[in-house]
Amino acid sequence: MKNTAIYPGTFDPVTNGHLDIIKRAARMFDTVIVAVLNNNAKTPLFSVAARRAQIKAAVKDIANVKVDSFDGLLADYMKRKNVSVAIRGLRAVSDLEYEFQIANTNRSLNPAMETVFLMPSAKYTYLTSTIVREVYCHGGRLKDSVPPHVERGLIEFYKKRRP
């Protein structure tokens, strides 16, 4: 696929920071595939299907964004999709070392693969899915951290778990 990029992640849940990166990538590439990873090493809050649905609802007005999911290695998924560019977000310098290692590992597994790093807007540099889950888990609300439909999903999820 010419001028296509894949933005991989667990997106548990998708945040406004993720959406900022998706919108930036959509301006740079003809097609952006947001690929939800089914990561067996993590215990996600939402199922892959729920995360895909959350992202689809959030990007419904961006015509060149598609949503998919995958298992296994990103390098293998990209080969299957015939895509050579991966998008990764960098919030802070602390992300760089980890992302650098991942990018080089992916390139060793798939030499055609390149990683493009995008920075979110400054207002999202602190935002992670982990922070969102922690705040909601303890009854807090993060203004402007997730789309309204994702916030409702979090509220419902934790409402069922509280005594």
Percent of the chain with pLDDT strictly greater than 70: 96
Q: Looking only at Cα atoms, what is the longest distance across the chain? A: 52
Residue 163's pLDDT band (boundaries 50, 70, 90)? low
Q: What is the mean pLDDT of the segment spanning 2-29?
A: 95
Q: Give the count of alpha carbons within 13 A of 160, CB side only.
A: 6
pLDDT digits (tens, 9 = 90+) for 58-111: 999 999 999 999 999 999 999 999 999 999 999 877 788 899 999 999 999 999
> Is 138 part of the annotated catalytic residue set?
no
> Whole-angstrom Cα distance, residue 112 to residue 75?
9
Q: If DSSP codes are grouped into helix, strand and coil, which group holds residue 43? A: coil
* CA distances in angstroms from 120 to 42, 74, 87, 105, 126, listed in the order given: 24, 22, 12, 24, 10
Decide if 147 contacts 19 (C-beta within 8 A).
yes
Tell me which of 18, 24, 52, 133 is the catalytic residue.
18
Q: Is 42 a catalytic residue?
A: yes
- In the chain, the domains with their CATH numbers are 4-161 (3.40.50.620)
Q: What number is the average pLDDT over the span 46-58?
A: 96
Q: Is 91 annotated as catalytic?
A: yes
